[in-house]
Amino acid sequence: MTENPGPVRRRSMMWSGLENIAAPVRRLFATTSIFRLAVLATSSAPSTASPIRLPSRTERRIVAIGRALDAVAAGDLHRRLPVGSASDDLDRVAQAVNTMLDQLAETMEGLRQVSADVAHELRTPLTRLRTTLQRLEAQTDPLDRPIAKDALAQIDSINQVFRFMLQIAQIEAGSPRSRFVPIDMADLCRTVEELYEPILEDDGRPFTVDICGCGATWVAGDRDLLIQMIANLLDNALRHTPPGTGVAMRLARQSAGEVLLEVTDRGPGVPESERDKVFRRLYRLERSRGSEGTGLGLSLVAAVVSLHRSTVCLSDNDPGLKVSIVLPATAPG
């Protein structure tokens, strides 16, 4: 049976892939330099000279490769560069890059699987530990029960982290996509509004909701996950903003066949240099390290957004944070 290559072996395979790319890339740069010189010569020649152009087929291939690389850079590790039948330098570069992308995707999948396996394996012993602590709490001296209650709260917090990690792993695997149905985001946002309005009212916070009434806010998705996504954004806003500050939710239809969801607050916001990092698992801003939370709320949001082939962007609400999610619209169900 063939053994899976370890991390060191994978790394050496990737460096080998880079070496395979080096020679054709050098030739491409040389060709490009010659082409640029030819263009310069043509531009300085009389106006009757014919402009030099790349063959249309080569130009189309370069454009296709560029689009594929843009998709990979945006996080689509399943995208591959197109490989033709010419077996030229472009094809050799594309094949070598695709080989490295296969190895990178395998490594990333292995890391995701490890975190999911750890969370799954620890769930049972943690549940047993909680049961034991409950028994101890019932049997211990009343003066010592606060200690047992604190231990139970810590176990619950750990369990919540592992539940989030397992859920994120399931979402990233794409399994919930089989449950996608047409969903009216306007109706879904009203459901969330009904759930959170009493919470914000009790907390003395204004809650502004602006839902598009055009009836064209349908998306294909998993209703429970979309509700959890919005709930995580609202919980995040409540947790990281001063008491009494408002939270707003807006839903609108965009002209390009997209549905825009925004959740905004009036808190301290997120520094621009940290906005990509907050979607990482267990990542927390320095000022938030002492507050409640798992550090996985926005990671789950990012996973749900990716599952629905959507985009999420953090920006300044002046003051506060604006989270904008753009989902592809679909026909009403």
Ordered by start, the domain boundaries in the chain are: 7-109, 129-175, 177-328
Measured CA to CA, the distance from residue 207 to residue 261 in angstroms comes to: 15
- In this predicted model, which residue has the larger pLDDT, 174 or 177? 177
Token pair in block for residue 99: 């080989």
- Check residue 276 and give its pLDDT: 87
Tell me the Ramachandran region of residue 180: left when phi exceeds 0, alpha when psi lies from -120 to 50, beta otherwise.
beta
Task: Specify the range with the lowest mean pLDDT, choosing from 87-96, 206-215, 238-247.
Answer: 87-96
Mean pLDDT of 257-284: 90
For residue 14, what pLDDT band results from cuts at 50, 70 and 90? very low
- In this predicted model, which residue has the larger pLDDT, 222 or 140? 222
- In this predicted model, which residue has the larger pLDDT, 134 or 112? 134
Q: Long-range contacts of range 92-98, CB-CB < 8 Å, 24 or more positions apart? A: 92/20, 92/21, 92/24, 93/21, 93/24, 93/25, 93/28, 93/65, 94/65, 96/17, 96/18, 96/20, 96/21, 96/24, 97/17, 97/21, 97/69
For residue 80, what pLDDT band results from cuts at 50, 70 and 90? confident
Task: Specify the range with the lowest mean pLDDT, choosing from 61-70, 213-222, 225-234.
Answer: 61-70
Token pair in block for residue 139: 């049997």
**What's the chain's average pLDDT?**
79
pLDDT exceeds cutoff 70 at 116? no
Token pair in block for residue 106: 């395998």
Token pair in block for residue 270: 């997120």
Mean pLDDT of 226-254: 93
Measured CA to CA, the distance from residue 40 to residue 187 in angstroms comes to: 60
pLDDT exceeds cutoff 50 at 153? yes
- Check residue 173 and give its pLDDT: 73
- Check residue 248 and give its pLDDT: 96
pLDDT exceeds cutoff 80 at 73? no
For the purposes of burial, counting CB atoms within 10 Å of the CB of 222, is it exposed (0-12), middle (13-18) or buried (19 or more)? buried
- Check residue 37 and give its pLDDT: 45
For residue 46, what pLDDT band results from cuts at 50, 70 and 90? low
Measured CA to CA, the distance from residue 93 to residue 28 in angstroms comes to: 10
- What is 177-328's CATH number? 3.30.565.10
Stated length of the chain = 333
Mean pLDDT of 192-215: 91
For residue 321, what pLDDT band results from cuts at 50, 70 and 90? very high
